[in-house]
Structure 1
Amino acid sequence: MEHSIIEHIIALFSGADERNWTKVKSVLSQQVVLDYSSMTGAPATSVSPEQIVASWSSFLPGFNRTNHHLFDFKVDRKDREAVVTYGGKADHYLNESVWTVEGTYTTEVKLINGIWLITSHTFHFHRQSGDTTLPGLAQANMAIRMVVQKNREVVNNFFVALETQRFELLKEVFDENGKQLNPYSPGGFPKSFDGAEGIYKQYSGLTANFGQMKFPRRIFATEDPNFFFVTFKGEIEIKAGGKYENDYLGTFRLSNGKVIEYTEYFNQVVMAKAFNIDLRPGD
């Protein structure tokens, strides 16, 4: 029985190190009294597993990896409840540096529906060593990740708007003064669509000639959280008959969560053959 209790506590930490948040939640009761006041100064609070995961997942992935080493477990069990004390050392790695936190824990568990679940978790801070600037750097990394995640969703919504023909979404994707650049457009076709309203009008007019549109895609982030490139294939039904297919590369530049410049590249020859366009030098 004591072995099972210890295993469930270890799972809390190994889940955090693995970024396996389902594993973390699996050993927590519906409400947990979480107390890291000896280190942070913030008072103990009763929180849900979802709140714990939200907090940890917004910080720990900012490190390259973490490793929790636990030792000297002592279990005081009384019927369906137990208090477990043990030592802990947490190494947080980022680039070539490490930040280490050491202390002891008091974790209370309760047998609920045949499973030992954590009801209270207290950390008693002893010392820290190594590069103490790493927590700030990890938080900065997470802030950048959040920008990348949100911007990736904006880029994806560009394609969602076309595939679902909910073209009004384009007004949310593009900045008011955003542009789409079309450097490969042949003569007679616009080299740019200007402004969110102009882009919306351009795409909403496609339904006159085209039916369902699909754009299987791969979205790639870059070192600049506001710049993405996308490789995709266009699979577009032509209402007059047939299908237009082409390969594309798109680059997206964003600012404040809106696309300010989208540049689209495609195979001109394929387009010319599909629509009987005469390509001229300079097109």
Structure 2
Amino acid sequence: MNLIIKGVLVMVMLVLNPHFAFANVKDEAQIKTIVESVGTLADTNNYESLEKLYAPEIQVDYRSLSGGDIELKSPRALMTQWASVLPGFDVTRHEISDIKVSANGVTATATASVVADHYVGSLFWQVRGKYTYRFVKDAAIWLITAHKFELLEESGTRDVFAVAVENAKQNPPNYLIRHNSQKTVSKFVEAIEDQHPASIAGLLSDDGAIFESTHLATINKKIGKTKITIDYMRNARNVGKNRMIYTMKDPNLILIETRSKLEESHLEKKAANCFVALIHLENDKVKMIREYS
């Protein structure tokens, strides 16, 4: 009898508010696509796109697989962790099925079955389990706020991980190279701003670093970390704290733009200073700098 009453109430809701039903169907479709995409994007090492599926802070629970505690991570920290292992496999495949979604306004939960295969060399490891995701709706977009895996069964050997980690270390994916490039360039610009010669020199490549500056059709060129460091110390740039760092298709290329205000006491006015540079890196060191003004 209770089931009949609930069914009647649901039908009344749908008749009175068909938009509510349509919205729920769209939400369910979007959430199912996200759940499917997590596995597909991980298998194709597309961490830039995968990162965008997550909220700014995620609760990650893999205790049934690897022990430890529930962790709170940023999307970048989670992607960095995965990108340090998964690209080292020859092939991974996450087969997702039986997705169930429960959406309620701006929050939702989804569960799914997963069979994940991992191949590297002659080694193989398969894990079967269940994913549970929690979501929040932000500006019509659903984002993952919690990601839990429950282990049900495994076969093969976990020795695959040691090999995969070493492979990924020897041949890191563009995702990791790109973010390491961003970190190096940020440190380099801070060293220029702080006028710290040891830090500037320490971030320049030992192997023939090159500096080029273009100003009013005049090209100033310096070769070698010592000459470049001296140039930055003699001709200080007010690179400013408000900087924009743009990544490129080549993960070793970074375009940086900063704007600051220069005090010109003798003119009794302030002038805007724009610092633009294209920086090429090798092995996390600055190899070439091209400044534009």
For Structure 1 versus Structure 2, the TM-score category normalised by the shorter chain is 0.5 to 0.7
Match of 1:42, SS? coil
Per-residue CA deviations over 1:95-146 (Å, capped at 9, x if unaligned) read 2432111110110111111101101010001122123311111112223336
- CA–CA distance in structure 1, aligned partners of residues 118 and 147 of structure 2: 20
Contact 1:68–1:91 (8 Å) recurs in 2: yes
Residue 41 (structure 2) aligns with: 15
Instruction: Point out the structure with max Rg over C-alpha.
Output: 1
- CA–CA distance in structure 1, aligned partners of residues 146 and 169 of structure 2: 29
Residue 277 (structure 1) aligns with: none
Which of 160, 172, 190 is matched with 2:209 structurally? 160
Contact 1:158–1:169 (8 Å) recurs in 2: no
Match of 1:158, SS? coil
Question: Is residue 74 of structure 1 aligned with residue 100 of structure 2?
Answer: yes
TM-score by length of 2: 0.52
Per-residue CA deviations over 1:153-190 (Å, capped at 9, x if unaligned) read 999762434775242359x9xxxxxxxxxxxxxxxxxx
Question: Is residue 60 of structure 1 aligned with residue 117 of structure 2?
Answer: no
Contact 1:161–1:169 (8 Å) recurs in 2: no
Residue 143 (structure 1) aligns with: 169
Residue 222 (structure 1) aligns with: none
- Relative distance call for 1:17 and 1:155 in structure 2 (3 A) is farther
Residue 29 (structure 1) aligns with: 55
Residue 232 (structure 1) aligns with: none
Name segments (4+ residues, structure 1) moved above 6 Å. 153-156
- Relative distance call for 1:155 and 1:92 in structure 2 (3 A) is farther
Contact 2:91–2:120 (8 Å) recurs in 1: yes
Contact 2:208–2:223 (8 Å) recurs in 1: no
Match of 1:19, SS? coil
Letter in 1 for 2:133: T
Residue 217 (structure 1) aligns with: none
TM-score by length of 1: 0.54
Letter in 1 for 2:209: V
Which of 38, 45, 50 is matched with 2:76 structurally? 50
Which of 70, 95, 101 is matched with 2:121 structurally? 95
Which of 136, 142, 151 is matched with 1:110 structurally? 136
Residue 213 (structure 1) aligns with: none
Gaps of 5+ in 2: 1-25, 185-202, 213-220, 230-283, 286-293
Residue 186 (structure 1) aligns with: none
Gaps of 5+ in 1: 173-256, 259-283
Contact 2:96–2:114 (8 Å) recurs in 1: yes
Residue 281 (structure 1) aligns with: none
Percent sequence identity over aligned pairs: 27
Contact 1:98–1:130 (8 Å) recurs in 2: yes
Residue 121 (structure 1) aligns with: 147
Aligned-residue CA RMSD in angstroms?
3.0
Contact 1:89–1:103 (8 Å) recurs in 2: yes
